[in-house]
Amino acid sequence: MSGNESPTYRDRNSTADRALDILTMFDDTRLIVSGTAVAEHLGVARSTAYRYLQSLVAGRFLEEAPSGGFRLGLRVLEVARLARRSYGLSEVALPAMAALAEEAGETVLLTRRAGDLVVCVDRAESGTRAVRISYERGSTLPINAGASALVLLAWGPEDETRRLLESVELRRFTAATLTDVDALMGRLGRIRRLGYSITRGELDPDVVGIAAPVRDDAGAVVAAVSVAALATRVYPEAEAEIAQQVLGTAQKITDRMAAVSG
């Protein structure tokens, strides 16, 4: 291509590819890159590498480091901030939820508390089960029954939780549903010590629920992730194994929330 020709689409795309190659050279162990390292990485002459680098500097994606070489620029921080704003809880959680659904072979729910109700924010289904548990997105669940509800209550201030439970009608759904406030408070204490909640037939007589807390970057519980399955498919001896899977998923969601909000 001569000096007075306009670059073709292929040329422009190649330049963009090289720019992305340079940006992905940075990681936790490499915060500054040299022009020589870029040239070697791209397999081009140093003069060509410097043209790419200067283009990134002009766009504020890179800046020259005081000690020499190049570091990430302020434009990268601006783009990262916008990327974080584009993520909602469901978008952060769904990949881990889908993996858990396939691993456990059951329905996985993401729930949040709204006053004295629990709201199903999202769900992921296993592709291997013919019979599935139906909790629709946006549906509400009671505050006193079900693994998710108890997890969402367990880490709140005890006096506030007690006042909440005393202020609402605690409905009995099955013989196993707890409606006594003192009994519920004791149950919440055991859940805190265990780190997760297991309920069997407390909201629906045929369903077992296993839930763990999702936390924000301050450590507060903001959501719960849970497996909901037909009780006939989850024997008591399998509960601990599923609980560990749910705990791992909750931690993955917590970690990703911290990554996109940090």
Altogether, the residues listed in the chain come to a count of 262
Q: How many CB atoms lie within 10 A of CB 169?
A: 8
Residues 165, 45, single domain; the answer is no
Same domain, 93 and 81: no
Q: Verify that 180 and 67 share a domain, yes or no.
A: no
Whether residue 197 is contained in a domain is answered as yes
Is 40 found in the same domain as 156? no
Q: Is the domain of 36 the same as that of 107?
A: no
Answer yes or no: is 142 within a domain: yes
Residue 2 counted as domain residue: no
Burial 180-191 (b: 16+ CB within 10 A, else e): ebeebbebbeeb
* pLDDT tens, per residue, the chain with 262 residues: 444 444 433 344 477 888 889 999 998 899 999 999 999 999 999 999 999 999 999 999 999 999 999 999 998 888 877 665 655 788 889 999 999 999 988 999 999 998 888 988 889 988 776 455 667 777 888 899 999 999 999 999 999 999 999 999 899 999 999 999 999 999 999 999 999 999 999 988 889 999 999 998 889 999 999 999 888 888 888 888 999 999 999 999 999 988 877 6
Domain contains 3: no
**Of 54, 85, 116, which residue is a domain's last?**
85
User: Do 98 and 57 lie in a common domain?
Assistant: no
pTM (two decimals)? 0.70
Residues 198 and 94 placed together within one structural domain of the fold: yes
CATH of the domain at 206: 3.30.450.40
Assess whether 103 and 232 both reside in one domain. Answer: yes
- Number of domains composing the chain: 2
Do 133 and 253 have their domain in common? yes
- The residue out of 20, 50, 85 marking a domain boundary is 85
Q: Where is the domain boundary, 24, 56, 85?
A: 85
Task: Estimate to the nearest angstrom the gap between the alpha carbon of 235 and the chain centroid.
Answer: 28
pLDDT score at 83? 63
- What pLDDT is attached to residue 17? 83
Same domain, yes or no: 72 and 99: no
Domain that holds residue 30: 9-85
Q: Which of 81, 153, 76 is nearest to 114 (CA)?
A: 153
Residue 180 lies in a domain: yes
> Are 94 and 70 part of one and the same domain?
no
Indicate the helix (H) or strand (E) that contains 64: strand 62-64
Examine residue 68 and state whether it is found in any structural domain, yes or no.
yes
Same domain as 149, residue 33 = no
| Residue 24, domain CATH | 1.10.10.10
Phi/psi at 117 (5° precision): -130, 160
pLDDT at residue number 156:
92
Phi, psi of 139 (to 5 degrees): -70, 155
Q: Give every CB contact of residue 174 below 8 A, 6+ residues apart in sequence.
A: 201, 202, 203, 204, 205
